[in-house]
Amino acid sequence: MFDAIAPRYEMLNHVMTLGLDRRWRRRAVNDLRLPAASLVLDVAAGTGDFTRELARQGHRPVASDLSFGMLHAGHGMDERVQADATSLPFRSGAFDGVTCGYALRNVADLQGTFDEMSRVVRPGGRVSLLEVAEPAGGLFRALFRLWFRHVVPLIGAIFSDRRAYAYLPRSTAYLPGAETIVAMMNQAGFCAVNHRLLTGGLSQQFVATRAR
């Protein structure tokens, strides 16, 4: 599915989030609080939006993704590796940090993914993850639902792949609640897991430290 939507994925992302995803990525990389030139693995990097933000903020990023099409359509990813997030081809403790943008709901084994992220980060290293969310209530939530469930699939159908963009709102059903995700990250070996909502709950972020 991601191979099919790769060519227009980024452009549609910016349209569908009204450009807010750039701000969320900037903040997520900043919240790693790692020194410049840190080696950071961007898991499920897609076409490299997050990877390039890592480079912009002075880090040395490595992009990995299961979809060859996404990696191929991307740019600004000097180091890119086709790999399943649940079985990363890197030695333990190889990275200072890990990022992952909007992919948690796509992996079949979320605990296995957190376990692998934890394995490849050095003790004391950092992880910063972004995922979609939904505003808690009121008019904002109603407008969000209209946009995410009806407008986004329509834009996707016109400019890309109808089936893929119909799946997008449905895929949130595969995402556990924040408390469950925090518990899974703790179980994987992360501590001080911090969950926060961004822009009134349009996006969510998990930041944590790899336990020593």
* 45 in contact with ligand SAM (CB under 6 A): yes
Q: Binding segment for ligand SAM among 28-36, 40-48, 174-182, 201-209 (CB under 6 A)?
A: 40-48
- Rounded Cα gap, residues 175 and 158, in angstroms: 27
Question: Is residue 66 a contact point for ligand SAM (CB under 6 A)?
Answer: yes
Short-list 45, 61, 58, CA closest to 106: 45
Rule CB under 6 A: choose which of 16, 32, 44, 207 binds ligand SAM. 44
Q: Is 46 a binder of ligand SAM (CB under 6 A)?
A: yes
Dist. CA 177–CA 54, nearest whole Å: 27
Residue 17 as a binder of ligand SAM (CB under 6 A): the answer is: no
Residue in 65, 96, 116, 131 binding ligand SAM, rule: CB under 6 A: 65
| Residue 160 and residue 168 in contact, taking contact as beta carbons nearer than 8 Å | no
The one among 77, 107, 127, 184 contacting ligand SAM by CB under 6 A: 107
Does residue number 24 form part of the binding site for ligand SAM (CB under 6 A)? Answer: no
Q: Is 114 an interacting residue with respect to ligand SAM (CB under 6 A)?
A: no
How distant, in Å, are the alpha carbons of 9, 48, 153, 201, 204 from that of 144?
20, 26, 13, 10, 14
Question: What amino acid occupies position 45?
Answer: A
Determine, following the binding rule CB under 6 A, whether residue 103 of this chain makes contact with ligand SAM: yes
